[in-house]
Amino acid sequence: MSVILVSPAGTMEKDLRNCFWWSLIFGPFYFAYMGVWDTAVISFILAVVSGGLSVLVYPFFTEKIIVANYVKKGWKIKDISVAAFESGATGKLRCESCGMPMDVDEVSKFDLRYCIHCQDQATGDLKSYQEVRDSSINAAMKFLGKSREEAVKMTEEMMPKLARWKNK
CB 128 within 8 A of CB 165: no
Distance separating the N- and C-terminal Cα atoms of the chain: 27
Which residues lie below 8 Å from residue 36, measured CB to CB, with a gap of 6+?
Answer: 65, 66, 69
| Alpha-carbon gap, residue 31 to 22, rounded angstroms | 9
For 45, list phi and psi in degrees, rounded to 5. -60, -45
- Please state the pTM of the whole predicted model: 0.49
pLDDT tens by residue, the chain, 168 residues: 467 788 888 788 888 888 999 999 999 999 999 999 999 999 999 999 999 898 999 999 898 899 888 888 888 877 554 334 433 434 457 899 998 888 777 888 888 889 999 999 889 899 999 999 999 999 999 988 999 999 999 999 999 999 899 876
Answer yes or no: are the C-beta atoms of 113 and 85 closer than 8 Å.
yes
